[in-house]
Structure 1
């Protein structure tokens, strides 16, 4: 089929690669414009999708908006059978949604209608969900409201981080989209409307959510840590200079005490109820380190209270 691909981050790269590998004709790739990078922000770095598309020799377009008549006319001129959208980053107006003969398919990282919106991977873990999934949805003007064609369910392990789930989901999602396109080409992809019950919105992560609150129950603290790992990262201040320390991995642990107290020499921290053990940390400006390595360079003896 003639396909327009629309995506930006590394999450979208396996899907683009799978589509090309299955022999479809990718007539254009839409992605976000190169972003400033480097210490001074003077270098412009193409998105991961942009870089891969150029290696495949595909036409790449980086419009700042799709809401102009010129953008709609250019999109329609591709004469695409279908558009595939994976974490693109721009809202698609009705003129774009209606241009491909078979519409626009979106790969979304949740079990819709739960976790519509910007941060479904993080929100599922932060909420303590035991399972999530990836689905192929027919796009419409509402926020992730379209009917669903295919779904792949993914269990969430007790210590799984958002990074772990992201990597698992992008591989499964690429295969799921390839299967959806094969069924669509045969005329055998059936869509089911989302139920009205069970809707939840995955709002983008705010900075105020990232500081660890040790007064919360241990399960809540643990879910916050792993749901925000590796980015933006849940953190706490350490030492008199309040150096920011991200916690990248943790696990539930035995122990009790005043919230924030360091209970042993393995970085077990008391919470509002129960305790968590910090497994991997990253001090500001440093590389991630396991707890034992971190303690070699940072004094956090039992009895220390983390604020």
Structure 2
């Protein structure tokens, strides 16, 4: 049964869900997204990916800076919605907004709750070395990602995953799950299950302190940090490439299984294997110099000779 819904989202990970809801025949009464922000060299006001897509499809788009004002809440209520679907919108929904749709507000969250409530669940799951993650269709309430879960879909996290690759896979899973969850909510075949607090973790927003590589940490943790922050904002270290220390961004790595007696941060060989605090090594596979393009290790080494014994700080 087609439903009258509002879609609320901003970044690219939300696009697949919006497309899936349109393909399922639902009426998109309105799209809510973050306001356009300055971007690029000219600092031109640029709409979010969801905003640009919705406008191209002829959908009404609203970009309030906040939903706390009574007039914004009244405008939302006036849409006479069956449901709202939320994917990485970026604004807090006041209780009046949560209560307005007949069936409530359904949030597609990129983790298996209650693990990784909060802003950066994809990155934090990899950085913590989790073996799996997924997407939850959660009924929203006033707390931060505390609502009951309607449906879930899981996926393993592999040693080849970065935040970028996992983001893309979860976006596809969210697009697969959202129409099914919405249909189950509408016909009553799916019942929301309250979350337990057991195993709850908080996916704090990433800061600059998360980015610098500490080679004193175990190799597995360093590898997870590198992959969990790739492609953005990127983990980094400092190294002297002949003209003083430069900040080198590391975008992909692997555990080598090799042992090293060298001090942490020391290159164990000429193939970019760096010694870590537990005596094991992490091999750096994709790197980026300041102002340069990301390079695979082979291309990086062709233009930047390094040798065993060199120290990364």
TM-score in terms of structure 2 length: 0.96
What's 1:203 paired with?
204
Matches within 5 A, 1:263-302: 263-273=268-278, 274-302=280-308
Unaligned runs of 5+ in 1: none
Is the aligned partner of 1:246 residue 2:249?
Answer: yes
Is the aligned partner of 1:305 residue 2:311?
Answer: yes
Measured after TM superposition, the shift of residue 110 of structure 1 is 0.7
Unaligned runs of 5+ in 2: none
Select between 250-259 and 76-85 the one with higher mean Cα deviation.
250-259
Is the aligned partner of 1:38 residue 2:46?
Answer: no
Select between 2-11 and 47-56 the one with higher mean Cα deviation.
47-56
Measured after TM superposition, the shift of residue 276 of structure 1 is 0.4
SS at match of 2:101: coil
CA RMSD across the alignment: 1.0
SS at match of 1:152: strand
Matches within 5 A, 1:94-113: 94-113=95-114
The runs of 4+ residues in structure 1 deviating greater than 3 Å are none
TM-score in terms of structure 1 length: 0.98
**How far apart, in 1, do the equivalents of 2:162 and 2:196 lie?**
28
Q: 1:255 aligns with which of 253, 259, 264?
A: 259
SS at match of 1:84: strand
Measured after TM superposition, the shift of residue 245 of structure 1 is 1.3
What's 1:22 paired with?
24
Measured after TM superposition, the shift of residue 92 of structure 1 is 0.3
**How far apart, in 2, do the equivalents of 1:61 and 1:231 lie?**
28
Matches within 5 A, 1:60-71: 60-71=61-72
What's 2:14 paired with?
12
Q: Tell me the number of residue pairs that the alignment of Structure 1 and Structure 2 aligns.
A: 306
**How far apart, in 1, do the equivalents of 2:121 and 2:276 lie?**
26
Asked whether the equivalents of residues 98 and 105 of structure 2 are also in contact (C-alpha less than 8 Å), the reply is yes
**How far apart, in 1, do the equivalents of 2:179 and 2:64 lie?**
26
**How far apart, in 2, do the equivalents of 1:57 and 1:236 lie?**
46
What's 1:175 paired with?
176
